[in-house]
Amino acid sequence: MFTAETGSPVLASNKESRRMSYAVTNPATGETVRTYDAISDADLEAAIAAADETHRSWSKSTAVDERAALIRRVAELHRERRQELAELIVREMGKPIAQALSEVDFAADIYEYYADHSPDFLKDEPIELLAGQGSAVIRRASLGVLLGIMPWNFPYYQVARFAGPNLIVGNTILLKHAGQCPESAAAMEQMFRDAGFPPGAYVNLYAAHHQIERIIADPRVQGVSLTGSERAGAEVAAIAGRHLKKVVLELGGSDPFILLSTNDLEATVQNAVDARLDNSGQSCNAAKRFIVADELYEPFLEKFTAKLAEIEATDPTSEDAALGPLSSLKAAEILDDQVKRAVDHGAKLVHGGTRNGAFFPTTVLTDLTADNPASKEEFFGPVAQVYRARDEADAVRIANDIPYGLGSYVYTTDNDQAMRVADAIEAGMVFVNVVLADGAELPFGGIKRSGSGRELGRFGADEFTNKKLIRIG
């Protein structure tokens, strides 16, 4: 089966998973455009062997600067094929076309960032000796073949932040994309080939679920990175642990947006709307729980609800679309069920309409108590939960009362309070008075049940490296 959050695999029975294929099903129309068969076991073996051989040969015989130049060409190809790439993911997962184009641009930015900076990230790092003669350095080197298990919500961006730095390091990539993204997955593999990477450096796998465990267990595979649901992450981490493989997990989130004070409520409300509706609300680090100081609660709720109500889900191919369908009919059905269960447990439905196929309306819930299951869940779509906080301490308490710890947002006019709250929030990332501010240079990742490890920036380039100590006497 596939999880609602990101389409990452939960390892199913062999009988079930062998029947599965990859398919492009347009969520806006419900039409299945094309299906693709899963890779055969023989072809999978050949793919792993090619990746291993390329690591042992090409990766060892090329310099960092050479590999960085190839990644720079991948960035250029993203820009050259921008429109085509964007249209693929509009059809595969319903992203509004303007946002799809922006995603392609961001992926290109990430590749360029690593092409510019990875040679510096990989330079020898001297260690000052406390005793003895000689010197010591840390020299970074590749680990080998890596498996990436990627989600549907950001088909290009997610791959860029994994594949870009690791190919420059010298690792080779086996990339298993979400089942609904076979055409964008194939387009990316073609770009790596067209950029000049040899066969085996980056291999797209239409792998069935029963094959995932086999790939992770293979001794030639040295690590696995998964972006997906909590359940998928737990299963993949368990397999990786059994086989002593390095693992990076970027899982779900229910990020708080804490509003304590503002000089411009209109602008803050717009930022809150933008933070909730990015990617039609299907972003792991989108703001999902809005925690508002008591004196601002009523005016914020009124303006926030009115702004959300202005935005309607519409044809994602329209240049003006701000909100498209959810990624699939199933995803919309699951979100609909979550909202109904939240109301059944006492939440108030302030705004929201009826689901129309895969299209889901903007929705606002209030009066969620700590014992309402919805207060501990991730809502992957345009649904906002709004909480009233008595004071700063209460806002922090509500923010941290969640199993997740990915990102967070703090709005305040008090700089000391901003840093105090940022320190108190249990999350991997805190953004103060700004939203949609991710950058190629900024490390991305969470704590608690949101995963482990980091992607992007210098820390992302360091996850799958052998930090080898060389001590010279």
8-state DSSP, 319: T
Rounded CA gap, 59 and 201, in Å?
8
Instruction: Please give the helix or strand (H or E) that residue 355 lies within, else none.
Output: none
Helical H runs in 392-455?
A: 392-400, 415-424
Q: Quote the CA–CA distance of 42 and 45 in Å, as a whole number.
A: 5
Which candidate, 469, 314, 337, 271, places its Cα nearest to that of 4? 337
Torsion sign (Cα): 59, 62, 67, 73? negative
Per-residue exposure over 69-87, b if at least 16 CB sit within 10 Å of its own CB, e if not: ebbbbbbebbeebbeebbb
Residues near 99 by Cβ (< 8 Å), separated by ≥ 6?
A: 278, 279
| Among the listed residues 151, 179, 150, the one whose alpha carbon sits nearest the alpha carbon of residue 163 | 150
What integer pLDDT is reported at residue 458 of this predicted model? 97
Domain range 14-251+450-472, its CATH number among 3.40.1350.10, 3.40.605.10, 3.40.50.970, 3.30.230.10: 3.40.605.10
What are the residues facing 205 on neighbouring strands? 176
Which DSSP symbol is given to 179? Answer: T
Which structure tokens are listed for 196? 């000049």
Superfamily of domain 255-441: Aldehyde Dehydrogenase; Chain A, domain 2 (3.40.309.10)
| Positions marked active-site | 250, 284
Can you give the pLDDT at residue 11?
A: 46
Residues facing residue 348 across a β-bridge: 366
Virtual torsion, Cα 450, 455, 457, 460, nearest 10 deg = 120
| β-bridge mates for residue 337, sequence order | none
Q: ∠ at Cα 178 (68, 195), nearest 5°?
A: 25
Q: Domain-by-domain residue ranges, the chain?
A: 14-251+450-472, 255-441
Check residue 289 and give its pLDDT.
Answer: 98
Residues paired with 176 in a beta bridge: 149, 205
> pLDDT tens digits, the chain, 473 residues: what are they?
233 334 444 444 444 444 457 999 999 999 999 999 999 999 999 999 999 999 999 999 999 999 999 999 999 999 999 999 999 999 999 999 999 999 999 999 999 999 999 999 999 999 999 998 999 999 999 999 999 999 999 999 999 999 999 999 999 999 999 999 999 999 999 999 999 999 999 999 999 989 999 999 999 999 999 999 999 999 999 999 999 999 999 999 999 999 999 999 999 999 999 999 999 999 999 999 999 999 999 999 999 999 999 999 999 999 999 999 999 999 999 999 999 999 999 999 999 978 999 999 999 999 999 999 999 999 999 999 999 999 999 999 999 999 999 999 999 999 999 999 999 999 999 999 999 999 999 999 999 999 999 999 999 999 999 999 999 99
Q: Whole-model pTM?
A: 0.94
Residue found by looking up tokens 């990624």 in the block = 327
